[in-house]
């Protein structure tokens, strides 16, 4: 029987990270999959973000990473971003996947072990 810690570590996540361009997005995506920090990373190539940074309203064209992973690999994602992401404060938002195809979520779990 799984303990609560094991169950939490295996809980599927969808993490979002914005990148300043497609080259950086692809570099991070490749690194995450290669190290099994993610089972799959989808790159949405063009989006526009409007945000407040250091008292100014900014607009930026960015690429969005949609990272399929699990709780137990979130620290590896943070480490990868610290090493590869050029922003001073990279966006990382992770949400639990509460429902999905059981076979797909099992695949995510197996690919991130």
Where is 60: in which H helix or E strand? Answer: strand 56-70
Query: How far is the CA of 20 from the CAs of 32, 57, 88, in angstroms?
Result: 17, 16, 12
List helix spans (H) across 4-53: 4-10, 22-34
What dihedral angle (degrees, nearest 10) is formed by the CA atoms of 5, 41, 29, 11?
0
Q: What is the pLDDT of residue 5?
A: 54
- Domain limits of the chain? 23-111
pLDDT tens, residue by residue, 13-56: 999 999 999 999 999 999 999 999 999 999 999 999 999 999 99
Residues in the chain: 113
**What gap in Å lies between CA 17 and CA 36, rounded to an integer?**
17
Question: How many CA atoms, within 13 angstroms, populate the side-chain half-sphere of residue 53?
Answer: 11
**Quick one: average pLDDT of 59-76?**
97
Quick one: fold of 23-111?
A: Alpha-Beta Plaits (3.30.70)
Mean pLDDT, rounded, of the chain: 94
Identify the bridge partners of residue 40 per DSSP, sorted by sequence position.
68
């Amino acid at each position: 029987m799984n303990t609560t810690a094991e169950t939490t570590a295996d809980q599927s996540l969808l993490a979002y990270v914005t990148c300043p361009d497609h080259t950086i997005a692809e570099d991070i995506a490749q690194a995450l999959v290669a190290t099994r920090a993610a089972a799959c990373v989808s790159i949405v190539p063009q989006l526009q973000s409007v945000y407040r940074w250091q008292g100014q309203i900014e607009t930026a064209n960015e690429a969005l990473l949609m990272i399929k992973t699990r709780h137990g690999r979130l620290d590896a994602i943070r480490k990868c971003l610290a090493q590869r992401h050029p922003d001073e404060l990279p966006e990382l938002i992770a949400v639990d996947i509460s429902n999905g195809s059981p076979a797909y979520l099992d695949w995510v779990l197996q690919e991130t072990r």
